[in-house]
């Protein structure tokens, strides 16, 4: 995550440094908004950034979609980190009404669908 943000935003960041948290909180949602889109029941929805955390060699960014009464289907287009490495694997977890579904996208695959 550090390296792709440094490449795209021409900055030097340390994900473990408190001084860089504000930069990550700005750059992560910008980067993600350009590479991840969701439609719910055929309508595009806005992702709201919740935050991020680092766990060993992984970085987790959290987003939510609000103000949706019911969900039958979610379609995603996800090319996160495809501009960094062509062996990228993106794991997506989607939770609706307490029911969680997950999928894995191996580069160059970008599309995922969830039915509820």
Task: At 64, list the tokens.
Answer: 């939510």
Tens of each residue's pLDDT in the chain, 116 residues: 889 999 999 999 888 888 999 999 999 999 999 999 999 999 999 999 999 998 887 888 999 999 998 999 999 999 999 999 999 999 999 999 899 999 999 999 999 999 99
CB 95 within 8 A of CB 59: no
Q: Say which residue the tokens 């939770």 belong to.
A: 95
What's the confidence (pLDDT) of residue 36? 97
Query: In the chain, what are the domain boundaries?
Result: 2-115
| H or E element that contains 62 | strand 58-64
Q: Does residue 108 have a cis peptide bond before it, meaning omega lies within 30 degrees of 0?
A: yes
What's the confidence (pLDDT) of residue 58? 81
Q: Say which residue the tokens 């580069």 belong to.
A: 107
78-81: long-range contacts at Cβ-Cβ below 8 A with a sequence spacing of 24 or more?
78/35, 78/36, 78/105, 78/110, 78/111, 78/112, 79/35, 79/36, 79/110, 80/31, 80/32, 80/35, 80/36, 81/4
What's the confidence (pLDDT) of residue 73? 97
């Amino acid at each position: 995550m550090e390296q792709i943000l440094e490449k795209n935003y021409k900055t030097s960041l340390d994900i473990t440094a408190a001084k860089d948290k504000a930069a990550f909180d700005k750059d992560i949602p910008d980067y993600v908004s350009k590479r991840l889109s969701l439609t719910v029941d055929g309508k595009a929805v806005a992702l709201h950034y919740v935050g991020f955390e680092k766990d060993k060699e992984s970085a987790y960014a959290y987003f939510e979609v609000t103000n949706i009464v019911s969900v039958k289907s979610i379609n995603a287009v996800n090319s996160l980190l495809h501009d960094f490495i062509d062996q990228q694997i993106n794991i997506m977890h989607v939770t609706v009404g307490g029911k969680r579904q997950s999928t894995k996208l191996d580069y160059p695959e970008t599309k995922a669908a969830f039915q509820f």
